Amino acid sequence: MMETKRIHISDYNYALPDERIAKFPIGTRDHSKLLIYRHGEIEEDVFYNLPAHLPAGALMIFNNTRVIQARMHFRKTTGALIEIFLLEPVAPADYEQMFQTTGLCSWLCLVGNLKKWKEGLLSRTFDVKGRQLTLTASRISEEKTSHRIEFSWDNPDVSFAEILDAVGELPIPPYLNRETQESDKQTYQTVYSKIKGSVAAPTAGLHFTDSVLSSLESAGIERDEITLHVGAGTFKPVKCDAIVDHEMHTEYISVHRSTLERLIKHDSCAIAVGTTSVRTLESLYYMGLRLHHNPDLTEEQLHVSQWEPYEAEASISPVEALQAIIAFLDRNGVNTLHSSTQIMIAPGYQYKIVKMLVTNFHQPQSTLLLLVSAFVRGDWRRIYDYALAHDFRFLSYGDSSLLIP
């Protein structure tokens, strides 16, 4: 573990010219370029040919989270514009309940132009379902870098989901350096997104179309889904050189029993679509390991801490770990695991479940680049040099890669 903690993020830097950052997606999602890294060899293709590069009978795991319109603006009577960016629900804390709630709720939020909102309430009035509604925001408390904000509104027939649909803006990544456009409401969602809760898209999935999904099925590739709600921390830069000083943000995951059973059927081997699927799948091993040693833990106690993979002895197989989670679900009479993770995957990490990875090209000096480097056993720079030399587009709306170490 000590070797991983000593990693310097400056060793994971590369020159990324601004013109190589894709500001918008290409016209047809599945016509993006696909870099294929297979056992050290690099070639390229077009994304719609992805199924031809995968082994028949393999299991592919997708993150079905849906991006919410998490950015809201309020104007004070002084004219100052205040931005409130929703991070995670507080009351109610459950995402599904939150979006159905009426009248009152609270969130942890980032606040833009905070110095102009020292006290008092913010409010704005707008129409929902043909009726006027006034939404009010009040600051309840400060928690580290975020604030607990309470929202209230005067129409009990309107849910918080409907309010966000009416006045929320889709939070596209800050490095795109542009305003959100109407087209982003479609292009910044995966075609298979279902469960509302993310403030950033699982962008590896943006290349998939219904046609590609159909081709996967025809090629004998099995599909299943997990849910990880992507937080704003996914854009959090690593500001300290030694990664031991970087705190990973907490992410909330949901995995159905049927998905665990299917993973076991595939000997705990999976193709992960995106780094969010990777973090979910790899966290499952450590949750199962804990349950193997202590079956009476609660869901909250299954939280995977940042350095846990480097401190815990991997004393059981991935299949045994997944079986321990299923036994936990059975004991508690539930069909879905709900827990959280702060897992840090960096060089020195030993992958347990993910055998292949579909992912975009990530920012320099990011934890996502550390995850990729760990997966390709340190060969990330050759992959990125190739992509830069062959006109690949980078970051969220950029091109794709299939990594097979």
Dump pLDDT digits (tens) for 262-289: 999 999 999 999 999 999 999 999 999 9
Concatenate the DSSP letters of all residues of 228-245 into one string.
EEPPGGGG----SSBGGG
- If asked whether residues 303 and 160 sit together in one domain, one would say no
Enclosing domain of residue 347: 2-66+186-404
402: left (phi over 0), alpha (psi -120 to 50) or beta: beta
Q: Is residue 175 part of a domain?
A: no
109, 138, 169 — which closes off a domain?
A: 169
Q: Do both 134 and 196 map to the same domain?
A: no
Assigned domain for 177 exists: no
Q: ∠ at Cα 182 (136, 75), nearest 5°?
A: 25
Provide DSSP, 376-400: TTTTHHHHHHHHHHTT--BSTTS-E
pLDDT exceeding 70 applies to what percent of the chain? Answer: 99
* Residues 200 and 93 placed together within one structural domain of the fold: no
256: confidence class by pLDDT, cuts 50, 70, 90: very high
Residue in 198, 174, 176 with CA at minimum distance from that of residue 25? 176
Q: What is the pLDDT of residues 230-246, one digit of tens each?
A: 987 776 778 899 999 99
pLDDT of residue 1: 63
Is there a domain that residue 307 lies in? yes
Res 143: pLDDT: 87
Task: Identify the weakest region by mean pLDDT among 4-8, 41-45, 56-60, 213-217.
Answer: 4-8
Select the more confidently predicted residue: 236 or 197. Answer: 197
> Do residues 56 and 79 both lie within one domain?
no
Return the DSSP state at 311: H
Domain identity same for 323 and 273: yes
- Among residues 11, 24, 42, 39, the alpha carbon closest in space to that of 384 is found at 42
**Over residues 99-123, mean pLDDT:** 94
**Is the residue at 180 inside a domain?**
no
**Mean of the per-residue pLDDT values of the chain:** 95
Q: Once rounded to an integer, what is the mean pLDDT over residues 200-214?
A: 97
Are 238 and 208 part of one and the same domain?
yes
Question: Is residue 227 domain-shared with residue 90, that is, in the same domain?
Answer: no
Residues 161 and 58 grouped into a single domain: no
Lowest model confidence (mean pLDDT) among 45-49, 174-178, 218-222, 290-294: 174-178
Task: Report pLDDT for 233.
Answer: 75
Where does a domain end: 169, 204, 233? 169
| Torsion from C-alpha of 368, 370, 376, 378, nearest 10 degrees | 150
Is 43 part of any domain? yes
One-character DSSP codes across 204-215:
GGGG--HHHHHH
**pLDDT confidence band for 305 (50 / 70 / 90):** very high
Residues 97-123 have a mean pLDDT of: 94
- For 128-159, b/e burial (b = at least 16 CB within 10 A) is beeeebebbbebeeeeeebbbbbbebebeebb
Provide the CATH number for the domain around residue 362.
Answer: 3.40.1780.10
Do 291 and 308 fall within a single domain? yes
Residue 175, pLDDT > 90, answer: no
Structure tokens at 329: 């679900």
Domain end marker among 106, 141, 169: 169
Asked if 253 and 323 sit in the same domain, the reply is yes
Is 45 domain-assigned? Answer: yes
Residue 174 maps to a domain: no
Torsion angle of C-alpha atoms 123, 129, 131, 134, degrees rounded to 10: -10
Whether 257 and 313 map to the same domain: the answer is: yes
pLDDT at 369: 97
Q: pTM for the complete prediction?
A: 0.94
Identity of the amino acid at 365:
Q
Q: What is the pLDDT of residue 234?
A: 72
307-346 pLDDT, tens digit each? 999 999 999 999 999 999 999 999 999 999 999 999 999 9
Inter-residue contact 162 to 129 (CB < 8 Å):
yes
* Residue 181 is assigned to a structural domain of this protein: no
Find out whether 367 and 283 touch, Cβ atoms under 8 Å. no
Q: What's the CA gap between 129 and 114, in Å, rounded?
A: 31
Domain count, the chain: 2
- Average pLDDT, integer, range 46-63: 98
Q: Same structural domain for residues 360 and 398?
A: yes
CB-CB contact of 105 with 95 (8 Å): no
Q: β-strands 33-38, 400-404: how paired? A: parallel
